[in-house]
């Protein structure tokens, strides 16, 4: 009887141990989240149509930064800089020495030099993380990106791909699909736009490769690799989530701000009395 109880006890121990081992063996497989697969358009590509918006502080500074006062003391706390972590990966932006000095000057004079202050087009990638929504409209041959700020528009050419015919604020974008990811390769920029309100900038040699990947029905992972040999010592990357606007009437409104900037841009041309 005693030996039988021992055999039963040993059998139970072996069974429990086996179950535990098998449970541990399946944990990694169960813990690995399945990659999200977005709904498809008529041509079988991931459907990224919608109104999207970044919810972060990168529009102030793509690098990590603390709280700071606004540029107009009379406004008090209105316009104060909100703190935020870096969206730049792998450390600080790798400026060349002369470019680092230019960035500092841009920051010191940002009230008059920042293209946003003058309602100029935001450029890429800045357009994607300004504090306003933008819309993706997707077809087989073209993908349109329509921005609230300054009426900016981009056309991503999916099949009729060519080099930029001329430099411009928003560049020339050619696109392709890599599985679940929309890859947008943009060149042909002028040297007028900035990356943020902190004076981070580029030259006309800017080359941006963006990746848009749906990670759920209401989120995109946005990644942008920046290359500009005139300004930076190496390519660098930023990344952030983009969020779908879920309001029933989510839409792009117009922020036509040119009239607000006319005095700043053209005031010095006004004829002075007696001249």
90 CB neighbour count, 10 Å cutoff: 10
Residues 144-163: tens digit of each pLDDT: 999 999 999 999 999 989 99
Residues 127-144: tens digit of each pLDDT: 999 999 999 999 999 999
Mean pLDDT value of segment 195-216: 98
- Amino acid 21: pLDDT: 42
Mean pLDDT value of segment 86-97: 97
Mean pLDDT value of segment 52-66: 98
pLDDT tier at 11, thresholds 50, 70, 90: low
Residues 14-29: tens digit of each pLDDT: 444 444 444 444 444 4
- Amino acid 241: pLDDT: 98
How many angstroms separate the CA atoms of 175 and 17, rounded? Answer: 54
Which of 182 and 259 is assigned the larger pLDDT? 182
pLDDT at position 2 over 60 = no
Mean pLDDT value of segment 106-125: 96
- Amino acid 260: pLDDT: 86
Determine what percent of the chain is predicted with pLDDT higher than 70. Answer: 86
- Amino acid 269: pLDDT: 79
pLDDT at position 190 over 70 = yes
Which of 70 and 239 is assigned the larger pLDDT? 239
- Amino acid 28: pLDDT: 46
């Amino acid at each position: 009887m005693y030996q039988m109880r021992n055999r039963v006890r040993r059998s139970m121990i072996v069974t429990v141990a086996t179950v535990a081992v098998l449970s541990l063996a399946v944990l990694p497989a169960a813990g690995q989240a399945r990659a999200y697969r977005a709904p498809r358009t008529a041509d079988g590509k991931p459907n990224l149509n919608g109104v999207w918006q970044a919810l972060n502080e990168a529009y102030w500074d793509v690098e990590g930064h603390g709280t700071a006062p606004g540029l107009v003391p009379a406004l008090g706390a209105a316009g104060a800089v909100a703190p935020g972590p870096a969206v730049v990966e792998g450390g600080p932006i790798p400026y060349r020495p002369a470019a680092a000095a230019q960035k500092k000057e841009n920051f010191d004079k940002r009230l008059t030099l920042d293209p946003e202050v003058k309602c100029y087009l935001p450029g890429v990638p800045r357009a994607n993380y300004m504090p306003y929504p933008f819309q993706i409209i997707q077809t087989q041959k073209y993908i349109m990106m329509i921005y609230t700020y300054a009426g900016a528009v981009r056309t991503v050419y999916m099949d009729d791909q060519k080099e930029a015919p001329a430099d411009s604020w928003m560049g020339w974008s050619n696109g392709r699909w890599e599985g679940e990811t929309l890859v947008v390769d943009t060149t042909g920029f002028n040297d007028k736009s900035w990356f943020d309100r902190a004076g981070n900038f580029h030259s006309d040699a800017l080359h941006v490769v963006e990746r848009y990947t749906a990670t759920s029905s209401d989120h995109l992972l946005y990644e942008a690799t920046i290359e500009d040999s005139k300004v930076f010592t190496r390519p660098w990357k930023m990344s952030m989530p983009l969020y779908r606007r879920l309001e029933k009437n989510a839409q792009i409104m117009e922020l036509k701000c040119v009239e607000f900037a006319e005095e700043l841009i053209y005031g010095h041309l006004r004829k002075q009395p007696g001249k």
